């Protein structure tokens, strides 16, 4: 009877562990959320950021994006479809113009369209400080992602207005 109890307890713990592992597994939705948080983090810039850190961050941003990215954010200094390298160079130039950039991820809703394509509705709080302008707004936009070699890459970033004036 004692052995039966021990085996039962062991099986129960194993089943619970398996359930928790399954529940917390890094599925596509979690991976995409992580990409979104990484992207927000690398685009952000502190006032004391040195050029080496900037270069590393841009390299990181490049690894989050596909070879070709469509950028369509209203009011952004660069628009349209561009290669990964061009996007990085444009973003690096824009970051250099700003004293401080804080992109705070606020919310994300991921839809897996096909096994290799996904769309994420995102909300961020963007705060930009420069000598010429200040910008502090909550922005809602769409990320389109595609899976390459089991890794999700951003293929498009576009405005998605919830409220259309």
Partner 1 sequence: MMKNDQHPIKAMLKRFLWPALNRFYLLRVAVLAALAFLFFRYICRPAWTNGESMLPTYQQREFLFYWQPAYWFSTPKRGDVVVIRMAGNSIFLLKRIVALAGETVEFREGTLLINGEPSQDEWAALTPCDWNLEPRTVAENSVYVVGDNRSMPIGQHEFGQVELRRISGKPISFKKRPGISAVMSP
Q: Which residues bind partner 1 (CB under 8 A)?
A: 106-109, 120-123, 138, 140, 161-165
We find the least distance from the C-beta atom of residue 96 to partner 1, in angstroms, to be 28
We find the least distance from the C-beta atom of residue 39 to partner 1, in angstroms, to be 15
Which residue, 32 or 58, has its beta carbon nearer to partner 1?
32
Residues in the chain: 165
Which residue, 20 or 106, has its beta carbon nearer to partner 1?
106
| DSSP tag of 36 | H
We find the least distance from the C-beta atom of residue 142 to partner 1, in angstroms, to be 9
Lookup result for tokens 């992109």: 103
| DSSP tag of 150 | T
Q: Chain centroid to CA 60: how far?
A: 12
Which residue, 81 or 111, has its beta carbon nearer to partner 1?
111
We find the least distance from the C-beta atom of residue 63 to partner 1, in angstroms, to be 24
Instruction: Check if the beta carbon of residue 138 is closer than 8 Å to that of residue 105.
Output: no
- Whole-Å CA distances, 77 to 18, 67, 159: 49, 20, 14
Which residue, 88 or 122, has its beta carbon nearer to partner 1?
122
Closest CA relative to residue 84, chosen from 119, 59, 103:
59
């Amino acid at each position: 009877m004692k052995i039966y109890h021990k085996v039962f307890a062991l099986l129960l713990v194993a089943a619970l562990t398996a359930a928790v592992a399954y529940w917390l597994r890094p599925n596509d939705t979690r991976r995409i959320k992580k990409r979104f948080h990484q992207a927000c983090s690398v685009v952000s810039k502190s006032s004391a950021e040195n050029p080496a850190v900037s270069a590393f961050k841009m390299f990181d941003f490049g690894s989050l994006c596909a070879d070709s990215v469509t950028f369509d954010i209203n009011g952004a200094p660069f628009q349209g479809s561009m290669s990964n390298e061009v996007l990085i160079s444009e973003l690096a130039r824009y970051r250099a113009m700003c004293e401080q950039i804080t992109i705070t991820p606020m919310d994300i809703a991921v839809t897996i369209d096909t096994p290799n394509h996904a769309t994420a509705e995102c909300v961020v709080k963007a705060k930009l400080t420069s000598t010429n302008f200040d910008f502090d707004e909550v922005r809602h936009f769409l990320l389109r992602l595609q899976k390459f070699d089991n890794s999700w890459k951003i293929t498009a970033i576009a405005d998605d207005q919830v409220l259309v004036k």
